[in-house]
Amino acid sequence: MNLFVFTNFFAQTGKDLKNLGDYAEAASTKWGLAEPGVYYEGGLFFAGLIKWLLSTTEVSSALPFAGTVNGLMTSLAADGSIFPELGGLLITIGVVFGFVNVFAIGAVWSERKVSAHMQCRLGPMEVGPHGLLQTVADGLKLLTKEDIIPRLADKPLFAIAPAVVFAGVLMRFVPLPFGDKLIASDLDLGLFFIAAVGAVEVLGVIMAGWASNNKWSLFATIRTATQMVSYEIPIGIAFVTVILCSGSFSLMEIVNQQGGSLLSADDGYTYQGWVWHWNLFRNPFMPILGIVYFIASLAECKRAPFDLPEAESELVSGFHTEYSGMRFALFFLAEYAAMYLVAAVAVVIFLGGWWSGIYPLDALGTGPDATIYTKTLGLLVKVGVFLSKAFALVFVQMWIRWTLPRIRLDQMMYVCWKVLLPISLLCFVGSCLWELVSGGASVFGFGIVVE
């Protein structure tokens, strides 16, 4: 699978990791990777672990090639140059990929529960307590299913299309933080990267529909491509407005600014951030833009009421009609990963990222007298706040899905071009004017000082 190629790409971007600082430092010092006091890269924690494993384990000499293997391991441990990349690779595979899988399993389960409860049903109840393991069982079933490729399909394209779709989603996780300092790579053009790489997913969908050699799939592909490309425009405008207001493309930077005023930078930071420092309340146009972004992001990740690409009942299931087994599961996984992704991006650009909006909670572990315990606690609180905001938005997505009926193609295009686009453009212009007039003040008059 070409997933591996993409993960290699992650490793490259992992080079300029500048996060996970203290923890990586402590860990890598412990495992003898580098001198203390240097600012470490995010992957060093794992890199240190690998080095430690390589230098301590020894293959029993009873086995063949034991000498060669041991020599190789020793020389690898001595030469430290590859470890940061290995660490980046591991962080990407272990954290992002693992998170996506676990999230998809949990989200499928909770989606079924949410839908069931909204329709006076029980949902899955049999496998595990309250059906918790139902998704795992379904995944196992999909794994054991026959992998069918239609005889007249374009085999190589058909085979790699799900991987392209999934990789398109997974790549967008690279500049996305999970909490303070927890990020695969803090790209300078993070938001731009997220918008741009979204196109890879469209490409994968087109590949899937075309390669299936099925007229329904092809029609569905056209539908999907139209939808995804159209709705990228309101999303792009929302991004541009946020970038314009905060003056940065980097997601870390955008979130940090929503933490409030940066009072003294000499001896540690003192944040005085409250809810009104979030971008959503920065000017009167931002709430509208937030709603526009949310609606457009529903269409972008093919969720109801915009789930025309895969209307199971009416439109022969869309571009993945011909897919079965694990390839189908990859499409599914990509969809749920995209759900989390758009929700997390909304949290980053509008809802203040990992800032809870309550100053004392946010200040935990940031002052000059912070110990390792308060720092850890602060980090955990921030991760929790970020994830719970994102999950709340995911819940809203499910809530909308089980409330609204699917809309027609022409209605979908109407909503995009005639409603969302003008409104978002208006909000963009309004935000520009607001920034000009107020000089970057928020609605409540608290200035946001950008270093």
Compute the least distance from the CB of residue 402 to other proteins, in Å. 6
Q: Which residues bind other proteins (CB under 8 A)?
A: 114, 116-122, 125, 399-400, 402-404, 418-419
Mapped onto helix, strand or coil, the DSSP state of residue 420 is helix
Reference 220, options 335, 304, 332, 312; nearest CA is 312
The tokens 């003008």 sit on which residue? Answer: 422
Compute the least distance from the CB of residue 336 to other proteins, in Å. 20
Give the tokens for residue 330.
């990859």
Which residue number, 37 or 405, has a Cβ lying nearer to other proteins?
A: 405
Which residue number, 98 or 422, has a Cβ lying nearer to other proteins?
A: 422
**Interatomic CA distance for residues 166 and 155, integer angstroms:** 18
Compute the least distance from the CB of residue 338 to other proteins, in Å. 22
Which residue number, 110 or 270, has a Cβ lying nearer to other proteins?
A: 110
Compute the least distance from the CB of residue 131 to other proteins, in Å. 11
Cα 136 to its chain centre, rounded Å, is: 22
Which residue number, 69 or 125, has a Cβ lying nearer to other proteins?
A: 125
Which residue number, 248 or 397, has a Cβ lying nearer to other proteins?
A: 397
Geometric angle at alpha carbon 248, from 242 and 249, rounded to 5°: 80
Which residues fall within 8 angstroms of residue 207, CB to CB, at 6 or more apart? 157, 160, 161, 164
| Extended strands (E) in 86-217 | 177-179, 182-183
**Interatomic CA distance for residues 133 and 137, integer angstroms:** 6
**Interatomic CA distance for residues 204 and 2, integer angstroms:** 12
Compute the least distance from the CB of residue 406 to other proteins, in Å. 14
Which residue number, 161 or 394, has a Cβ lying nearer to other proteins?
A: 394
Which residue number, 18 or 130, has a Cβ lying nearer to other proteins?
A: 130
The tokens 């990222």 sit on which residue? Answer: 353
**Interatomic CA distance for residues 439 and 187, integer angstroms:** 27
Compute the least distance from the CB of residue 399 to other proteins, in Å. 6
What is the total residue count of the chain? 451
Helix (DSSP H) and strand (DSSP E) numbers for the chain: 17, 4
Task: Let me know: does 201 contact 169? Beta carbons within 8 Å.
Answer: yes
Mapped onto helix, strand or coil, the DSSP state of residue 441 is strand
Compute the least distance from the CB of residue 218 to other proteins, in Å. 31
Compute the least distance from the CB of residue 291 to other proteins, in Å. 9
Phi/psi zone of residue 385: left (φ > 0), alpha (ψ -120 to 50 degrees), beta? alpha
Reference 232, options 203, 252, 255; nearest CA is 203
Compute the least distance from the CB of residue 124 to other proteins, in Å. 12
Compute the least distance from the CB of residue 130 to other proteins, in Å. 12
Which residue number, 225 or 291, has a Cβ lying nearer to other proteins?
A: 291
Which residue number, 126 or 267, has a Cβ lying nearer to other proteins?
A: 126
Which residue number, 233 or 407, has a Cβ lying nearer to other proteins?
A: 407
Give the single-character DSSP code of 36.
T
Which residue number, 160 or 415, has a Cβ lying nearer to other proteins?
A: 415
The tokens 């799939």 sit on which residue? Answer: 217
User: Terminal CA-to-CA distance of the chain, rounded, Å?
Assistant: 44
Which residue number, 72 or 404, has a Cβ lying nearer to other proteins?
A: 404
What single string gives the DSSP state of each residue in 111-179?
A: HHHHHHHHTT-----SSSGGGTTHHHHHHHHHHHS-----TTS-HHHHHHHHHHHHHHHHHTTTT-EEE
Compute the least distance from the CB of residue 238 to other proteins, in Å. 18
Dmax (CA) of the chain: 78
Which residues fall within 8 angstroms of residue 308, CB to CB, at 6 or more apart? 223, 224, 227, 315, 318, 406, 407, 409, 412
Compute the least distance from the CB of residue 6 to other proteins, in Å. 37
